[in-house]
Chains A and B, each alone.
Chain A
Amino acid sequence: MPLPRTQVKPTLPLVPQKTLYARREQLLEYINKDGTYLPKSVLHADLDRGMLDFVKGDLKVVTAGKIVPMVDIIVTTQNWSQYVETAQFIDLDNNPSPPFITVVRSPEVKFGTNPSLQYTIPNRKQFYYASVPTWNGNEQGMDIYTIPQPVPVDINYSVKIICNRMRELNELNKITMQKFSSRQAYTFIKGQYVPIVLNNVSDESQMQIENRKYYIQNYDFTMLGYLIDETEFEVKPAIARVLQVFEINTSVLKKKKNQYPENPDTFLTNFLYVVGNDILIERIDFTADMSFVKSTNISSYDVYINNDYFGTNVQRIQITTNDVLKIEVVKDDNTKSGLIEFDSKLV
């Protein structure tokens, strides 16, 4: 009992197809192939090549174990190119021998009907596409890549099969109808999926009795393409971060300089009067409020600032930088040294 064809795989996929995130990465790899962060230009010639590849690959016809050859160029005004392309299947008159498939492009290319691109953005406005990190050895930064909206174009193609057997017509028709059962199919052009729509099927067969008979069947397709021109891409520098490197000579160790006063807010200031000395004069190098704390062997003291009398036994002295402070004391016992302590608070 034969197995249903739909349940039998003709080939076993040895490499599993990627899905979800892995598939998106794969698409990104396609786009970034050859090391660019931008999509590649897709222009008319690329679209034509994509159509030829689509016909050659997706509409491949095999009859009696042989692949029906295809004229793998868009035949234009230069006739010699036709002979180059058909050299593999010509007859003794150098005419291409049926069966074969050829693709005819309508020379005119019209503004596209792809609804996602029609007249949506005016004036070729540039849009953010990617931020690309840069590094020149010193500066790390980002470049902002912008591109304009692609321009939609419609290109009409006629795929023609020239043959002299009905079975070859049937085979191409079967493949085409299966491929376009949802009206459209896609070709892959430089990382972009471009839709192709089947419009019509017509017949141009030569069946006059006095001439050679052969079939020509014509499949009209419209490629809903779009033009991406890399000359319109713009790259602008964005933020840059500068890395500065200092080289320090560590061979000589300098002694750390002591800061004075150590405590910048409050510190003690002592005035020591040795035996036989009753007057101390000092230039003060800070501005502070000096509060009397205690005295030893001192009965009274007079304070002068810049030789101006300030007071006797004052509890608080307001001193400013570069003032000359003079304190004259009277000791209880002149055979001993005396000491006055002030608590200075910087202001």
Chain B
Amino acid sequence: MQKLVPITRLGKFFGGEDYALDIGMGEEWLLGDMNFTVILYRIDRYKTKKDDVYGEVLEDGIQFMAPVELKGLVQVMAPQNKLLGNSKIKQDEPGNMKFSVYQKTLDDMDVNIFMGDYLGYYETEDRVRYYTIIDDGLVKSDNKHTYGGYKPFYRTVTATYVSENEFRGI
């Protein structure tokens, strides 16, 4: 049985009920008003048959569990116009995505996000861009991710653009 220790810091003017109230109001704004949605594709690490040496799969070879809709704060960085290495091939490299989600949302849905999972984000009705998670934000002990130092309340996931050759959803 998991051992639970009550959090008593800030106890004179802030407690669990206040924390739950504020998170609830935040969810009202984020999930109700903002309503940014991404689709999380969690890799099925057992069913995906990978290369023994490089751990690579062929195109369309990635097996994933049932996609999950997550609501959170989506920030997409500006693209970079650059050359591929020293080649003369120019491209607009799409910017990374930062996706912030309440830990409560993940807990309610019993979902976790790991590095290497994929996110799909519908930019328009018919255009979805896929990202792979390069920072799953599991470490959320910093002040920014704790509610006034009370306890961690959200995760910031950083994902980078992935080409269709690697992943293209369903």
Judged by a CB distance under 8 angstroms, whether B87 is at the interface is yes
When A99-B165, A164-B163, A204-B85 are in contact, do A82 and B56 touch as well, CB less than 8 Å?
no
Interface size class of B (residues with CB under 8 A): 20 to 34
Contact, CB under 8 Å: A164 / B165: yes
CB contacts (< 8 Å) of A211 on chain B: these are: 93, 96, 160
Judged by a CB distance under 8 angstroms, whether A34 is at the interface is no
Kindly count the residue-residue contacts between A and B in the assembled complex, taking CB atoms under 8 Å apart. 86
Q: Can you list, as one digit per residue, whether each of A55-89 has a CB less than 8 Å from chain B (1) or not (0)? A: 00000000010000001000110010010001000
When A216-B87, A218-B86 are in contact, do A167 and B54 touch as well, CB less than 8 Å?
yes
- The CA-CA distance from A93 to B94 in the complex, in Å, is 8
Query: Interface size (A, Cβ < 8 Å)?
Result: 35
Judged by a CB distance under 8 angstroms, whether B84 is at the interface is yes
When A93-B94, A165-B54 are in contact, do A212 and B162 touch as well, CB less than 8 Å?
yes
Judged by a CB distance under 8 angstroms, whether B88 is at the interface is yes
Q: Can you list, as one digit per residue, whether each of A134-167 has a CB less than 8 Å from chain B (1) or not (0)? A: 0000000000000000000000001010101111
Contact, CB under 8 Å: A166 / B54: yes
CB contacts (< 8 Å) of A97 on chain B: these are: 163-165
Please give me the residue from chain A that is nearest to B61 by CB atom: A64
Contact, CB under 8 Å: A212 / B56: no
Contact, CB under 8 Å: A165 / B89: no
Judged by a CB distance under 8 angstroms, whether B161 is at the interface is yes
Question: In the assembled complex, how far is the CB of residue B91 from the closest CB belonging to chain A, in whole angstroms?
Answer: 4
Question: In the assembled complex, how far is the CB of residue A245 from the closest CB belonging to chain B, in whole angstroms?
Answer: 66
Judged by a CB distance under 8 angstroms, whether A96 is at the interface is yes
CB contacts (< 8 Å) of B92 on chain A: these are: 93-95
Judged by a CB distance under 8 angstroms, whether B12 is at the interface is no
Judged by a CB distance under 8 angstroms, whether B59 is at the interface is yes
- The CA-CA distance from A24 to B134 in the complex, in Å, is 61
Contact, CB under 8 Å: B87 / A102: yes
Please give me the residue from chain B that is nearest to A94 by CB atom: B92
- The CA-CA distance from A175 to B90 in the complex, in Å, is 27
CB contacts (< 8 Å) of B134 on chain A: these are: 209-210
Question: In the assembled complex, how far is the CB of residue B118 from the closest CB belonging to chain A, in whole angstroms?
Answer: 13
Contact, CB under 8 Å: B166 / A164: yes
- The CA-CA distance from A99 to B87 in the complex, in Å, is 14
Question: In the assembled complex, how far is the CB of residue B74 from the closest CB belonging to chain A, in whole angstroms?
Answer: 17
Judged by a CB distance under 8 angstroms, whether A269 is at the interface is no
Q: Which residue of A64, A86, A91, A204 is within 8 Å of B163 (Cβ)? A: A91
- The CA-CA distance from A26 to B120 in the complex, in Å, is 58
Q: Can you list, as one digit per residue, whether each of B74-85 has a CB less than 8 Å from chain A (1) or not (0)? A: 000000000011
Contact, CB under 8 Å: B166 / A75: no
Please give me the residue from chain A that is nearest to B134 by CB atom: A209
Judged by a CB distance under 8 angstroms, whether A206 is at the interface is yes
List 30 contacting pairs A-B, 8 Å CB cutoff, sorted by A: A64-B58, A71-B89, A82-B88, A91-B164, A93-B91, A93-B92, A96-B89, A98-B165, A102-B87, A104-B86, A104-B87, A158-B87, A160-B84, A162-B85, A164-B163, A165-B56, A166-B54, A166-B56, A167-B51, A167-B54, A204-B85, A204-B86, A209-B134, A210-B96, A210-B158, A211-B93, A211-B160, A214-B84, A218-B85, A218-B86
16 extra A-B contacts, CB within 8 A, seeds A95-B92, A95-B93, A167-B51: A64-B59, A76-B88, A86-B89, A93-B91, A93-B92, A97-B163, A97-B164, A98-B165, A102-B88, A158-B86, A162-B89, A164-B163, A166-B54, A167-B54, A210-B96, A218-B85
